[in-house]
Amino acid sequence: MTEHGRSRWRLVLISSPLQGHMTPMLQLGSYLHSRGFPITIVHSELNRPDPSNHPDFVFFSLPNNLSGTGVSSGIIQFLQALNDNCRPHLEKHLIQIINTQKETSEKESIVIIYDNLMFFAGSLAGDLGLPSIILRSSCAAFLPAYRIIPQLHLEGRFPIQGNNSRTPSIQIQRSTF
């Protein structure tokens, strides 16, 4: 295990259950594990990873209580419910680890690496005094879109309510590089 002073680092990776988010997190975990870091993968019950594919990782499932709340109810509502429901379970788990370490001579410094869609992890890490790193698994084109979504929402143009001809289209200007 990679050591820092007298304590070891334990990396806790928290991924969104949405397609395209878990794979980069597991790849990062595999790379970091190859460098000697112990890895804990925290995931929701939705789209859970297969632990047999990563036998050296510790997997911790967060009950998400999402019955009745799906992506079809709106991505913002879905992500908020996911974050609200997962936070107390991770908080309890991390506090238990921290308290258990107080009773032993072997210490592990916990570092939280979390998917930007699992924003509760950043605030929880701050509340517990743990370092945290955000992993954005989105492509570079997502950032400009992410910035404009609130404006489109205020203008009533997002989310699109149907495919009729009166729905305003978003004009994208081409620029030459």
Cα–Cα distance between 81 and 158 in angstroms, integer?
20
pTM of the model: 0.73
User: Which two structure tokens, joined as six digits, stand for 118?
Assistant: 């699992």
Q: What pLDDT, on a 0 to 100 scale, did the predictor assign at position 66?
A: 65
Whether 115 sits among the annotated catalytic residues: the reply is: yes
129: tokens are 């005094």
CB neighbours of residue 14 within 10 Å: 27
The per-residue pLDDT for range 131-152, each reduced to its tens digit, is 999 988 776 666 777 678 778 8
| pLDDT tens per residue across span 38-56 | 999 998 888 888 899 999 9
State the catalytic residue, choosing from 21, 43, 89, 127: 21
Kind and range of the H or E element at 132? strand 132-135
Q: Among this protein's residues, is 50 annotated catalytic?
A: no
For the chain, the distance separating the N- and C-terminal CA atoms, rounded to the nearest angstrom, is 47
Please name the residue that has the structure tokens 């997002």: 158
Other Cβ atoms closer than 10 A to 125: 22
The one catalytic residue in 4, 43, 84, 115 is: 115
Instruction: Report the pLDDT value the prediction gives residue 110, as an integer from 0 to 100.
Output: 92
